[in-house]
Amino acid sequence: MADEFNLVVNKRDLTNKGGVKKMRKDGNIPGVYYSHDSKSSTPFYITAGELRNAQKSGSKIFNINVGDKKRTVLFKSVQYHPVTDEIVHVDLYGIKMDQTVSINVLINLVGTAKGVQEEGGILVQGLSELAIECLPMNIPESIDVDISNLALGESFRVEDLDKLNDIIVNSPSDQILASITQAMKEEEIVETADDEEVEEGAESSEEDNADSGDSESNEGNKEESE
């Protein structure tokens, strides 16, 4: 069952690019609040410290004040800087506790696969999050997937999950959550690298020949014109 966390947000006016940049420089993160029952949205900002506290809480449900009204919200979208990986924008989505919501939750792989421990395979995780639908108070912190019995060459798919109480899984049933693959031998890696070098050399040679051919053709045309 999900816990609620009181989140302090501050209403803001829509600003230009320079204003948003200054806001971030001051340690604040811009965001937008919207809900399923309203066509309007409310811009706000949240301090970086407050956001860190929210993340540490492990909560999925948050209480905020929008104007004079208390709202219950989820983090619907979080945008990260492509270089620094810092959060640069958040979207909060207003919900009702008696209505189902769609959300992604983390997948937690439990145990050590026998295909890794006994057969020397490599574990590959296909999904890090699972798309689910449920009432807000039933949102789990994560979904555990026991991979202990997964052998070399086997996969664990969404359809292999045990039935989740009060939760509907929206991810495709054939989506692979985890698989055990054969480890690539060192000789194969070397051969692959050599093949790529040969192909690159061949392409380079073809380009050189093409350039040479174009040069000779131009010179021939010049001689003919003379």
3-state per-residue secondary structure call for 31-53: EEEEECCCCCCEEEEEEHHHHHH
Contact (CB, 8 A) for 130 and 169: yes
Looking at residue 141, what is its pLDDT? 86
> Considering the domain 4-95 in this protein, what is its CATH number?
2.40.240.10
Q: Give me the residue spans of the domains in the chain.
A: 4-95, 103-181
Tokens describing residue 86:
């810092």
Q: How many CB atoms lie within 10 A of CB 75?
A: 19
pLDDT of residue 15: 66
- Report the topology of domain 103-181: RNA Polymerase Alpha Subunit; Chain A, domain 2 (2.170.120)
pLDDT tens digits, the chain, 226 residues: what are they? 456 788 889 888 766 677 788 888 888 999 999 987 777 888 999 999 999 898 888 788 999 986 677 889 999 888 998 999 889 999 999 999 999 999 999 999 999 999 999 999 999 999 999 999 999 989 988 999 999 999 999 999 999 999 999 999 999 999 999 999 998 765 555 555 555 554 444 444 444 444 444 444 444 444 333 4
Please tell me the distance from the alpha carbon of residue 13 to that of residue 130, in angstroms, as a whole number.
35
